[in-house]
Structure 1
C-alpha cells in the first residue's frame, strides 16, 4: 500500500502520457490544426467565452502534468483565441495569465508526483554526487530554478522532474515557476495574437523567436540577477577561505 501511495501518482501520469500519445492527441497541438480550425475557434470564443476559457485551462493543466509534446502551441493558441475577445493589448496579457497559471499548476502536479516517488529515500541511497548536487542546488534553489525557467536551455518537464528529485521546497518551486515562465508565455501569446495574419499569408510562425537578441537579451539579464545571491555567497566563501 505504501508503494502504491508513493509511486501511484507518477505511474498514473506516465499512463496518461502513453494514452495521449497512442490516441494521437499530441497531433492536435500544431500550427496546421490551428489554421484549419481558426474560424470555428474564433466563433466559439466569441459565443461561449467561459466554456473556452475553462477548456483552455483544463487542457493546459493536463498537457503540462503529463508532459505532452507540443504544449507550446497551447500558449500560442491562447494569444490567438483571446485576442479577439479582449483586444490586441489585453488579449496577450489574458492569454499569458491563463497559460502561466495553468502551466504552473500542471508543473506542480508533476513535481509533487516525482518528489513522492523519487525523492527522500532514493536520493539518500544514491549518495555521493547526488548529495553534492542536491546541497549545491538547495543553497539557492529559487535563483537556480528561476534561471532555468527564464532561459530556454532545458525542457520544461525535465526541470519539473529534476526539481522533484532534488527535493526543492514546494513553495520555492511554485514561486520560481510562476515568475520565471511569465516572459516566455507573453512572447508566445503575443506571437499567437498575430497568427491570423500569418495564416492569411500562408506563412508559419517562428517558434525560435525567443532566441532573438531583443528577446533573449533581457531574459539573460534577469537570469543573471537571479544568480547574484549565489555569486555573492561564492565570493564571500572564497574570501573567508583566503
Structure 2
C-alpha cells in the first residue's frame, strides 16, 4: 500500500490551468522529491494533498483511502518555519498533538525527548525569536514529525538558508529520517538537493504542470555528502538539468 497515490490529477483556478494529469506515488518509507520551474504548481499540489483544495479532476489516496478534500491526514512543513511567537519551543512542537487530543503533559514529555535528539536540548522553554534560522527549521520539522502522520510534505523548507547551513540541514534531515523512515514528499528547486535526499525524483514541466519524467536515485543509504562527487550523481544532475531546460512552455 502506498503512503500517497495521486492519479490523473488536474487543477485550475478559473481559466488558469495549474496542474494537468499529474500521477505520482510515494511508497511506505520512501523519500520522493519534486523539481520543476517556478510557478509550476508544486505548492498547489501540496494544498490538494493536504485537503485545503479540491482538484478539478483526478484522485488522491493516502494510506489507501480517498483523501480528496480531507484535512489532517499529513504532516506539513512550509517554506518558512511559521512558529507561533507567543508559544515556547516545546509548545510549538506539540501543537498538532494537542489539537489531536493528546494530554499536554504527555505531549510535552515527547517534545523534550525529541528536542534532545535533534540537538535542541535546553531550548524547550525558549521562544522562536531566541533561535537561529536553522534551529527554527528543526523545530518546524519536528512539529511535522510529531504530528504522527505517515506522510510528511516538505515545501522547500531550506530555500531561505545559506549554502553552509543548507548542507548542515541536509545531513541533519537524513539522519533523523533514517531513524524514523516516514514517507516524505519534498518540493525543491535544487536538483542537487533532490538527488542527495531522495529515492526518486519527479520532474514537472512548466505550467500547466505535467510529469515530464520520474528518475530513480540509485545510491545506497545511509547517504553522505561525498555522493555528490560520484560520476553517476554527476550524470543524473546533468540529466535533470537538461530535462528542466527543455521543459515545454
With normalisation by structure 2, the TM-score equals 0.29
Bigger helix fraction: 1
Bigger strand fraction: 2
Larger radius of gyration: 1
With normalisation by structure 1, the TM-score equals 0.30
